Structure 1
Amino acid sequence: MTTNTEVQTYLNYINGEWKASDTGKTSESLNPSNSEEVLGKFQMSSANDLDEAVSAASAAQKKWRKLSGKERGDFLFKVADVLESKTEYVAEAMTKEMGKTFAEAKGETARGVAILRYYAGEGMRPVGDVIPSTDSEALMFTTRTPLGVVGVITPWNFPVAIPIWKMAPALIYGNAVVLKPASDTAVTAARVVECFAEAGLPEGVLNMVTGSGSVIGQGLAEHPGVNGITFTGSNTVGKQIGRAALDRGIKYQLEMGGKNPVIVADDAELDLAVNATISGGLKSTGQKCTATSRVIVQKGIYDKFKERLLEKVAEITVGNGMENSSWMGPVASENQLDNVLSYVKIGKEEGAKLLYGGNRVSEEETKNGYFVEPTVFEDVTPDMRIAREEIFGPVLALMKVDTIEEALELANDSEYGLSASIFTTNIGNMLGFIDDMEAGLVRVNAESAGVELQAPFGGMKQSSSHSREQGRAAIEFFTSIKTVFVKK
């Protein structure tokens, strides 16, 4: 699958073979901890490469869907075993390619293994219902049929978990897949696909084509041989994908941005709230769609919360994710670094008070990396851009309120509605939050960035196309219901 050069060249995976693009062009994947290190090269593919992958998937899907659910599940169990055996191999690529700490990368890879095993088990679970007919001599029931070929477009921030939580349900329900991973994590994606290949997945059932979003991503949405698109990424690109899919009348699933609030009530357990805010907002360098961004604190606890938060933030060690001493790694790319620093500047210009951080880390051992300090603002008002726009970096915006009602109103004052959390010991506060919070994932006394594989996941408002991923909810997107009427 790779050439024998000093820097490995990773190929597309089409119809069971590792193949170079017909363009002859590659691009480099850089280590964000040291931009002078090239982790690998990947293919800058063409529409012809995409056509070949879609054709292979279409042909393979006809046989794949005829297998029993158990037979398809057995393949996924094998993939899980292979991935588990390659945990450090895959996690190392993740850390070196997008920056999250090695511990987080191994945890994400283990989650990928668990997702595969969960969906492998789906092959033996019910897919329909028997429905009473008005005709006493008839049997009526529902079953489900796969979409066909599914295009999977994934981001760089969870380069193992997100592709797998899309591909595994697509496959178990009888679809074939063409994966377009983010270019920033194409090497990690290739190592994941290696696991499927090693497990003996039939040729053409899973294909991977790397390259630009405008050619391969948009091409998938517009391709006449693709029957469904599942996408995670930015709102701008997601809406382009959605429009293209809508024009063709195919199913599409979009998971996009968030501006996720945490509410800290006067009666909150202080240490729990502080630790969860830091974990939810700053782990993975804040590069999670569910990361805590707005920290809405009731005035009675505000000063104590702020003091404890700043103490804990000052203890964070920033450095290469492969070093055990590093709690927070770099942002994923130079573009991400520039984006975060630009928002720090915007925050200061708009009148927010910078309490901590906000600078690029420039020590000798990090000078070639895209490292930024964890950053905390206060005196943030709802109209400021740092309170409204997704930064996707380690930036927390503190906002003081008088009442829980005011906190909920502020939390809902956003075009996004992905995740939210509250810290309180008052059952009334909890129930009000659960009922009134406009978000697809709400968590009580837990950080905003927790997603469990067996539960539905997705957002409201501009965060989502309103479908749900993961758990049994995945069947709703990756299949269509067929009603069957059988007369004696």
Structure 2
Amino acid sequence: MSLPLEVPITLPNGKTYQQPTGLFINNEFVASSDKETISVTDPGTGDEICSVYVASTEDVDTAVKVAREAYETKWKPLSSKQRSTILSKISDLIVEHSDQVADLEAIESGKPKSTNAIYDVLHAADVFKYYSGLAISAGNGKTIDSEPTKFTYTIQEPFGVCAAIIAWNFPVSTLAWKLAPCLAAGNSIIVKTAENTPLSALYLCKLFKEAGVPAGVVNVTCGLGRICGSALASHHGVDKVSFTGSTGVGKTIQRLAAENLKACTLECGGKSPLVIYDDCDLDQAVKYAAFGIFFNKGEICTASSRIYVQDNIYDEFLVKYKQHVEENYKQGGQFTEGVTVGPQVSEIQRGKILEYIQSGIEEGARLVTGGKAPEGLPAAGHYLLPTILADCNQKMKVVQEEIFGPVVTVSKFSTDEESIEFANDCVFGLAAYLFTNNIERSQKFITSVQAGQVFVNATFATDYRMPFGGYKMSGIGRELGEAGMAAFMQTKSVHINYGSKL
């Protein structure tokens, strides 16, 4: 029997929603061509929330064809002001429905609603509002001074049909990071949601339609990465792909995109260092160091997951850090009041994290706190206590590899040179953090560290107006800010000769 295209779901907080389950193609929810479905579960209990249809390669072909026609006949012909108005309306509708969207993101991803998911949703609304403003200037080029008998200038044009493959850790905001600038630039798009977290994106499709997005301009598919994601990345009808996820999958996306040399933006993994110098405000460093890794249960690509503390304050830091984490990071269900750390997104993910913790201990790290599931919570939930591993060194697997969970390593350093050496001793380069009250020291670190973003005396402070992206194995290109829209446009040079003769 076929799955209905909309089903009622009841959340632990007692609210009931009519949840779309179909693929969103041409402004309609439709069943997949082969009627295949996938189950979506609640990370807090392990219970099934509902099932949704997953796209086949045939469905991807249909979505690409629809997106191409919509781009040529509906979206491209609109003025930049008209596109701006629609993006602004999307922002307003997200704010209006923020409680519902936050409920769905919380139940599917494991985020505590009141201390986590709601902020992700409101951030997404801000992103759409920001790009509604930038949409007005889409296409603006430059005139270039040339010979008196020639007129030379540039035009910024959309790619055409784009694909966005989004991550499960921030399903609403990563969708906004790609969708808003893509539409502002004048493209149409096919989105592939993460397998674990399709519900919030499908709900948002209702808002896109209500905001006046023409049919076919935004299409949302759910499905397995090896089928739907691969089909989009390699499809000759797709002109640009934007991906957020692991570095390993990012490599695969880039290889598949080479089929037609499509442009790629790849926001991949991270293992961001946090350096704490002895001249900092230590109490503030302790608080930020905890927030930087344990917010969103450590499932953050920019997590400050490896901490380096100057040797003469190392012991004091660890005492304060352990106390602060144990007193302030309460674990529980997504809708429990006061909870700051929810369950990991899946049992598979929790299992990987536990293997890393065991690896660290076997290699000589000291377990300061955590390392196990908390007591008193559902055994079928994917819970894991915030974990601190101390006395770590650069050769350890837990120091070099992205864990993507609530696990932080703490190491000593002596000199400024050593702190920079340790910070750069990693294949990733997404973000870097430092705590110091010495401006000269901070500037030396900023110019020496190999990272796309540097934060001084703060952690995890993403601003939608600032470019976001990394160095080395952390990816290619930038999202957010003006760079985020530029990534969805290409430059055309125009040379007009109105006087010179051969």
Q: Under TM normalisation by the shorter chain, which class is it?
A: over 0.9
Indicate whether 1:262 and 2:274 are aligned. yes
1:28 is the counterpart of 2:39:
yes
What does residue 351 of structure 2 align with?
338
Counterpart residue identity of residue 494, structure 2: V
- Taking structure 2 as the reference length, the TM-score comes to 0.94
1:481 to 481, 487, 491: 491
Judge which range, 477-486 or 149-158, deviates more: 477-486
**Cα shift readout 1:150-173 (whole Å, capped 9, x = no counterpart):** 010000001011111111111111
How many correspondences in the alignment?
483
Give deviations 1:21-63, integer Å, cap 9, x for gaps: 0111211110101112x22211122111111100000000013
Separation of aligned partners in 1, 2:126 and 2:9: 34
1:13 aligns with 2:24: yes
Q: Which residue of 2 aligns with 1:39?
A: 49
CA distance in 1, matches of 2:9, 2:324: 42
- Quick check: 1:131–1:140 contact (8 Å CA) kept in 2? yes
Does structure 2 conserve the Cα–Cα contact (< 8 Å) formed by 1:456 and 1:473? yes
* Secondary structure of 1:366 counterpart: coil
CA distance in 1, matches of 2:87, 2:398: 42
Code of the aligned partner of 1:350: E
Aligned counterpart in structure 2 of residue 159 of structure 1, from 158, 171, 187: 171
In the other structure, the counterpart of 2:196 is 184
Distance 2:375 2:42 in 1: 16
Contact 1:57 1:204 in 2 (8 A): yes
- The structure-2 alpha-carbon separation of the partners of 1:5 and 1:88, relative to structure 1 and needing over 3 Å to count, comes to closer
Aligned partner of 1:413 among 425, 449, 467: 425
Q: 5 Å matches for 1:338-377?
A: 338-363=351-376, 365-377=377-389
Which of residues 55, 68, 91 is equivalent to 2:79?
A: 68
For the pair 1:322 / 2:335, whether they are aligned, the reply is yes
Alignment partners' CA distance in 2, 1:344 and 1:451: 28
Deviates more, 1:474-483 or 1:252-261: 474-483
Contact 1:9 1:40 survives alignment (8 Å) = no
Note the C-alpha offset of 1:361.
Answer: 2.0
* 2:381 is the counterpart of 1:378: no
Q: For each residue in 1:206-226, what CA deviation from the matched residue of structure 2 results, as whole angstroms up to 9, or x when unmatched? A: 001111101110000111110
Match of 1:170 in 2: 182
Look up the match of 1:90.
Answer: 101
- For structure 2, the residue ranges without an aligned partner over 5 or more in a row are 11-18
Partner of 2:473: 462
Cα shift at 1:485? 2.5
1:4 Cα deviation after fit: 4.5
Match of 1:58 among 55, 58, 68: 68
Letter matched to residue 92 of structure 1:
D
Shift of 1:360: 1.5
- CA-based RMSD: 1.3
Q: Which residue of 2 is the match for residue 451 of structure 1?
A: 462
TM superposition shift of 1:230 = 0.4
SS in structure 2 opposite 1:140?
A: strand
Q: Which amino acid aligns with 2:438?
A: N
Which amino acid letter does the alignment assign opposite residue 177 of structure 1?
A: I
Give the aligned residue type for 2:364. Answer: G
Aligned counterpart in structure 2 of residue 3 of structure 1, from 3, 6, 14: 6
User: Residue type matched to 2:146 in 1?
Assistant: S
Q: TM-score, normalised by structure 1?
A: 0.97
Q: Which residue of 2 is the match for residue 396 of structure 1?
A: 408
| 1:418–1:463 Cα contact (<8 Å) kept | yes
Aligned residue for 2:316? 304
Deviation at 1:201, TM superposition (A): 0.5
Change (3 A) 1:9 1:125: closer
Separation in 2 of the partners of 1:10 and 1:149?
24
Give the 4+ runs in structure 1 shifted more than 6 A: none
